[in-house]
Amino acid sequence: MTDINRAPDDVTESASGQPHLDLANLPEIARWMAEIMASGIVGNMAYDVLKNIRSRYGARRVDDLKRRVLDELRRVKRKPGVSDADLQLRVDRLFADHDSP
C-alpha cells in the first residue's frame, strides 16, 4: 500500500517513475497520478501526461483515465476526514485545468 506521508524526496522519486504512456499502462498511469495528487504536489508532469494521452488516444481515453485516477485516489487517500465528494472535486479540478486553454 502506498504511504501518503512521504518525504519530499520520495515524491520526486514517484514523479520520476512515470509509467510509459501506453494504453496497456492506463492502470499504472492512474495509480501514479493518484499518488502525485495525494502528495499534494501536482506539477507539469501530470498535465503533460493528460495532454499526451489526449493527443495520442483521444478524449474517451482521458475520460477513462479520469475514472481510474478517482478510483486509485480513493484507495491511496483513504482517510476519515476526506470525503468521496472532496476526492471527486480534486480529480475534476485536475482534469478541468488540463482542458483549459
Centre a 10 Å sphere on the Cβ of residue 58 and count the other Cβ atoms it contains.
11
Summarize pLDDT for 11-27 with one digit per residue, the tens: 333 445 778 888 889 99
- Would you give the DSSP letter of residue 24? G
Residue tagged 495525494 (cell numbers): 38
At 9 the pLDDT is 39
For range 4-11, the mean pLDDT: 38
- pLDDT 10s digits, 44-80: 888 899 999 999 999 999 999 999 999 999 998 877 8
Q: What is the pLDDT of residue 100?
A: 56
Q: Regarding predicted confidence, which is higher, 100 or 56?
A: 56
The set of cell numbers assigned to 54 is: 489526449
C-alpha cell at 52: 499526451
Domain boundaries, the chain: 8-99
Instruction: Tell me the three state secondary structure of residue 44.
Output: helix
